Structure formats: C-alpha cells, structure tokens
Amino acid sequence: MGTLPVTFKSGLKLGTNQIIVQVCSFVRNIIIARMITPKDYGIAATFAMTYALLDMISNLAAEMLLIQAPDGNEPRFQQTAQLLQAFRGLINAALIFACAGPVARLFGIPETRWAFQCVALIPFLRAFTHLDVNRIQRGMRYGPSIRVDIATNLITTLACIPLAIWLRNYSAMLWVLVLQAAVYVIGTHVVAQRTYGWVWDRKYMARIFGFGWPLLINGFLMYVILQGDGVIIGASRRLFAHSHFTLTDLGMYSVAFSLTMAPTMLVANVSTSIFLPLLSRVQGRREQLARNYAICAEIVAFMAALIGIPFAIAGRPAITLIYGQKYAAAGEVIGWLAAMWAVRVVRVAPTLGAMASGDTRNAMLSNIARTLALPGVVAVAAAGLGLKWIAVCGFGGELLALAVSVRRLQRREHLGIGKCIKPFAVAASATLMAVLLVPRWDVSAWPVAAIVSAVAALLTCAAMLLVFPELRGYCRRAFTPSLAGKALPI
C-alpha cells in the first residue's frame, strides 16, 4: 500500500472537513446578512478586520513547529508554546480593548466603541487554546482536529439563527465570533491527551521565535491582501475628501468577497494536502518533479475555471437569490472578484512546487508583489471611483504575484514557465471573456444564468482536456478503478 493511499485518505478527510467548515461559514453569513442591513453587515466586517490585524501580525506559528520539529513531541516544548500563545492572546486582547475608541472613529461609527471592546474577548479566549490538538497531527492523526473544527462550526451555525432573529443588527455577528472562539478553545481541551500547562523554557522560546519571525512578515502581507481593501473602503470617508464609499458599500463588497473566496480556500487547502507530499517526494528527480508539477498546474487551472466562470456569469443573480435583493449592488463587483480568486487558485501550483523544493521565500515574495495592488486601491478610493475598480486592482495584483512566483520557480528549480502559464492561459481567457461579456447580456434570471455558466464551464474544461493530454490521462486514470492508484506518477 505504501504512503500514497494514506496521503490520499488524509487528503480526503481534510477535504471533507474543509467542505463542512466552508459550508457552515457560508450559511452563517447568509443567515446574518438576510437578517441585518448591508450597512450593519459592513459594520460587522470591521470587527473581523480588527481582530485579524493583530492575530495575523503576531502569529509565530508555534503550533506548526510542534508538528514539524523532531522534538515537537516533548511536553516542555508544548507547554512553552502554550505559554507563548497565552501571552500573545492576552496582549492582543488588551490592545484591542485600549484602541476600541480610535478604531470605531476611524470607521466613522463612534457609537460602536462597546462592540470593538467586546472584540477583545476573541483573542482573550483563544489565549487558552490547548495545542495538543496540533501535536497529535505529527502522526498524521487529524481526527481530533477535524472533530473540533466540525463541532465548532456546527454549534456556532446553529446558534447564529436565534442570535440573528433576536438582535437583528451587527452585534449578532460579534457574538457569533465570540461564541466560535469559546467553543473552539473548549473543544481543544476536550480532545487533548495531555494536561494543559505552561512552562518557561528559554531554549524552546528561542526556537519558536527563530521559526516564526519570517511568518510575521507573511502574516502582515496576508492581512494587507485579505483585509486591506475592506479597511480602505470602510475608512475612506474619513481619509479621502472625494471618496463616496460607505459602510453599506463595505457590506456589499464583503458579501461578494466571502462568497467567491470560500471555494478558493477549499481548493487551495485540499490541493496543499494532496499535492505537496507528492511533489516533495520527487524533489531532486527533475523529470518526475516536472511531470508532477505540470499535472498539478493543469488540475488547479482546471479548478480555477470551474470557480471563476460560474461566478462571472451567474454571480449577479446568485447574490440576490442567496442574500436578498438588498445586496443586488454586490453583483457589480463579483465578476472581477471571481477572476481575482481564480488567479489565486492557479498560484497554488508554483507555490507548492517551490515549497516541495525547500523554497519557502517564493510565497513571501509573490505576496509582496500582490500587496502592490494596495496603492491602486487607495487611488480608486481617493478618486471616488466605483467598487468594481477595487476588485480590478486585486485582479492585477494577483497577476503580478503569479508572474513573480512562476519566474522564481523557473529560475531556481528550472521548471518551465509554460507548465503553469499554458493551462492558466486557457482558464484565464475563458474567465476573463465571461467577466467582460456578461455585463452586456441579460442573464438576470438565475436559472438562465446557471445554465449558461454550466455550459461555459464545461466547454472550457473540455478545451483543457483536449489541449493537455497529461490532464486527460490523469482524469481517465482517476475515474477508472483499475488505474486509480496510478493517477500521479511518483
């Protein structure tokens, strides 16, 4: 049997977990969005932005080191990591509480100071997370982590229904976020095999800081990428005299952003779980690495087309069908956001190719390139242009990041640029055509839009299967039981 079936079995479990997590998050957003106004949804989005800022720029990834380090199973190592986690959470909570007033004024909602103070409960609760749930994964045992994730998301999804019905304003999202943090922390203690505790060990502290400090930079870059647009939209009225963006616009943008991001995160996480081990296993064997990388690039481009094209064509009617007519204006931006996320899916391939060869800087450098879209977003807000141009800037940033990632991989590992760019060109051409042409068509009725998008996606996928024989062979082997074990050459 070997490790390949184990890898695919683990990937299937993690993929199923990701589907449940993303579906629960999607359902929560729908429930709350339908119960509150777009402006309140925009206010709710600022809570997540505020928490995410400190969380992402203070993350030393101690839990990842417990999995990766040869001595990560040592109790003192884990207890030192838990002490650092507690310090981080308590400091972040104090900072959020202290800055609640200025942050509320930045977004033009000083009356919500109390709510931003309550956001401090999220890092305070997460400070006491039991890291045994991560240590257990050293043996590829993902069951406890999956159970905690599923239980957390199911409980908070069920709880958001009465909360939204009762409160009917932005505070519903606030208390859902606090409840989610509390349930997750409790879950980590329930599944833990060791007693929770803290230890100060200078040697392990130095190890954690040495491992995690580069990730602090990447955390800041990811915040700019994922939250920067929203922060500028939410604060633009306070920052720019000619900006006309409001918190209602932030609510519209957040709805479209989260809807298009969900399948992207699912594909990215599952692809990492499945393809990284398979690419890592053939590092040093250039021909096999190139062959596996080509298949990985073709598959993620295939998935990018399946994500981008339906959203580009059916995104407008889907928004009103799912969230209600009051969010119809989000349809203006969803096509370009779909194109942006489709490019990000394609970027998974060169990122994994670099990681498999030990190049961890590839992702950081491409993320630096991606943040160059932020000046464009600032210019759009300052000039008083529409939301669509915010998404166009993000799309341009992702294209630049993809170019940097592919070029670095070609230069360091001699993996040809065409192996990623050719399948990307096919998927991107079809997606961009849909983004540009759909506004000229009348596909406001969602059944018509669904049919048109399905046909367009199938035609694009057929074209990719026709153009790329390796992808065609992979799909044939994957769906033929007698050949399924040979789906990837390793």
Nearest to 340 by CA among 265, 273, 394: 394
Contact 163, 176 (CB under 8 A): yes
pLDDT digits (tens, 9 = 90+) for 268-285: 877 776 777 677 777 677
The predicted structure's pLDDT at residue 40? 94
The predicted structure's pLDDT at residue 370? 93
* Cα four-point dihedral sign 199, 203, 206, 212: negative
Percent of the residues in the chain that have a pLDDT greater than 70, as a whole number: 91
Q: Is the pTM of this model over 0.75?
A: yes
Written as one letter, the residue type at 83 is: L
Contact 322, 28 (CB under 8 A): no
247, HSE (Cβ side, Cα atoms, 13 Å): 19
Please tell me the least confidently modeled range out of 25-34, 136-145, 320-329: 136-145
* Cα four-point dihedral sign 253, 255, 259, 261: positive
The arithmetic mean of pLDDT across residues 85-112, rounded, is 94
* C-alpha–C-alpha distance, residues 414 and 31, integer Å: 49
Contact 36, 169 (CB under 8 A): yes
Contacts of 186 (CB under 8 A, 6+ apart): none
The predicted structure's pLDDT at residue 2? 45
- pLDDT band for position 7 (cuts 50, 70, 90): low
Nearest to 393 by CA among 334, 336, 327, 354: 336
Q: Which of residues 114 and 68 earns the better pLDDT score?
A: 114
- pLDDT band for position 109 (cuts 50, 70, 90): very high
CA 199 to chain centre: 33
The arithmetic mean of pLDDT across residues 449-477, rounded, is 78
pLDDT digits (tens, 9 = 90+) for 163-192: 999 999 999 999 999 999 999 999 999 999
The predicted structure's pLDDT at residue 487? 45
Both tokens of residue 328?
């119809």
Start-to-end C-alpha separation, the chain? 14
* Cα four-point dihedral sign 170, 104, 55, 122: negative
- pLDDT band for position 156 (cuts 50, 70, 90): very high
Residue 337 has pLDDT above 70, yes or no: yes
**Residue positions counted in the chain:** 490
pLDDT digits (tens, 9 = 90+) for 184-217: 999 999 999 999 999 999 999 998 888 777 778 8
8, HSE (Cβ side, Cα atoms, 13 Å): 10
Written as one letter, the residue type at 89 is: G
Q: Which of residues 231 and 17 earns the better pLDDT score?
A: 231
Task: Quote the longest CA-to-CA distance of the chain.
Answer: 66
Contacts of 141 (CB under 8 A, 6+ apart): none
Both tokens of residue 15?
């993929």
The predicted structure's pLDDT at residue 128? 97
Q: Which of residues 73 and 130 earns the better pLDDT score?
A: 130
Taking CA atoms, 426 is separated from 284, 301, 412, in Å, by 30, 8, 26
Residue in this structure with the two tokens 């007519």, named with its chain if needed: 325
Residue in this structure with the two tokens 């942006």, named with its chain if needed: 340
User: Is 262 buried (19+), middle (13-18) or exposed (0-12) by CB count in 10 A?
Assistant: buried
Both tokens of residue 441?
């068509």
* Cα four-point dihedral sign 140, 141, 142, 145: negative
261, HSE (Cβ side, Cα atoms, 13 Å): 14
The predicted structure's pLDDT at residue 297? 86
Contacts of 254 (CB under 8 A, 6+ apart): 41, 42, 45, 230
* C-alpha–C-alpha distance, residues 215 and 221, integer Å: 10
- pLDDT band for position 10 (cuts 50, 70, 90): low
Please tell me the least confidently modeled range out of 19-23, 75-79, 391-395, 462-466: 462-466
* C-alpha–C-alpha distance, residues 292 and 468, integer Å: 14
Per the prediction, the chain carries an average pLDDT of: 85
Type and span of the H or E element at 450: helix 446-467
Please tell me the least confidently modeled range out of 179-193, 282-296, 308-322: 282-296
Residue 102 has pLDDT above 70, yes or no: yes
The predicted structure's pLDDT at residue 441? 56
The predicted structure's pLDDT at residue 484? 46
